[in-house]
Amino acid sequence: MIIDLPATTTSQVNSKLVQLREQGGANTIGRVLTLVIVTDDSERTEDVIDAANHASREHPCRVIVVARGAKKASARLDAQIRVGGDAGASEVVVLRLYGPLANEGASVVVPLLLPDAPVVAWWPFEAPPVPAQDPIGQLATRRITDAATARNPNRALEARAKSYTHGDTDLAWTRLTLWRAVLASALDLPPYERVTGATVSGEADSPSADLLAAWLAARLRLPVRRVKARSGPGIVKVELERRSGAVELSRPDGAIGELNQPGQPARRVALQRRQVRDCLAEELRRLDPDEIYESALKALGKVDRGGRTTAKKPPARKKVPATPRAKAKAEAGS
């Protein structure tokens, strides 16, 4: 059921929610959190709501969509309430803000938050420079961004590293779960040899490939090469060098991966590219800080891009002119 409330107020929206609860039963008792989605008022909003509805089947919640419209329009709040089959296992409140209200998302959201329930904020597209300092981000215990949907994914990932605060996460990191699981299980098998080098191949603007390289650099404690793949979407190949031979995990078609290890037959593994709804559902399973993601962000400086790393090099030592005695000693071979 979809109920439209044009030119309304948050008080009227709240009253309508109470009325629906009295008519249909106390459906908010099973809600485990409030998911606040911040986006623009466009056709993409429906895709975002569909992803949230799918995730709500695993995590029943109240979904509040803050869709910011034209800022030059007159101040107006158009609301829409979705319950039942149109809202999955949640209740969806879509708030379309126009004019000066477009910058007042937090003020509009506060009256609609579930009492005594954690708040998760999600920016499916462009995110604020520092999510933890955003007015809506300050309300949330967990803040989800997606560097892959930014105008410049690589710069967006660098911004995440600079502004990281406990509770931040990114769907570019969540897309790595299957890759990290397969690589970790491969290294748990004999021979238990030290990895001496690692290379990650993928699209040039893939933040997930950058994060995978940084994760390997943090876990293996060595610089990792990050190269551009000639073909294939997202992450294409990971190669871990060991004394007995390389461990290779490749996914050229974006669906099926192949794991090759010395002395073992090639194995096919499921490495399909994950949908946003699956990544969102995974992120909603935990509300505590992700220390592994934090360590991967800190290790981005150890990623070698074609012989260049983002880490600062130590200043070169100044050459001191050799004395005549030192020259004679060097010529003598001592």
Record the pTM.
0.87
**CB burial readout 235-255, b (16+ within 10 A) else e:** bbbbbbbbeeebbbbbbeeee
DSSP 249: E
pLDDT digits (tens, 9 = 90+) for 20-64: 888 866 555 578 899 999 999 888 999 999 999 999 999 999 999
- Residue spans of the domains in the chain: they are 2-170, 177-309
Closest CA to 291 of 138, 153, 133, 169: 169
Secondary structure element (H or E) that encloses residue 291, with its range = helix 291-298
Contact 167, 137 (CB under 8 A): no
Q: Residue 14: which of 73, 64, 53, 52 has the closest Cα?
A: 64
Q: How far apart are CA 15 and CA 305, in angstroms?
A: 56
Residue 137: Cβ-neighbour burial (10 angstroms; 0-12, 13-18, 19+): buried
* Domain 2-170 class in CATH: alpha beta
24-57 residues labelled b (16+ CB within 10 A) or e (exposed): eeebbeebebbbbbbbebeeebeebbebbbbbbe
| CB atoms inside a 10 Å sphere around CB 292 | 13
Nearest-CA neighbor of 181 among 270, 283, 280, 55?
Answer: 270
Could you read off the pLDDT tens digit of each residue along the chain, which spans 334 residues? 899 999 999 999 999 998 988 886 655 557 889 999 999 988 899 999 999 999 999 999 999 999 999 888 899 999 999 988 777 778 999 999 999 999 899 999 999 999 999 999 999 999 999 999 999 999 999 999 999 999 999 999 999 999 999 999 999 999 999 999 999 999 998 888 999 999 999 999 999 999 999 999 999 999 999 999 988 899 999 999 999 999 999 999 888 999 999 988 999 999 999 999 999 999 999 899 999 999 999 999 999 986 443 333 334 434 434 444 433 333 333 2
| DSSP secondary structure letter of residue 241 | E
3-state secondary structure 155-218: HHHHHHHHCCCCCEEEHHHHCCHHHHHHHHHHHCCCCCCCCCEEEEEECCCCHHHHHHHHHHHH
Q: How many helices and strands (H and E) does the chain possess?
A: 10, 16
| CA pair distance 147, 127, nearest whole angstrom | 8
CA distance 212 to 216: 6
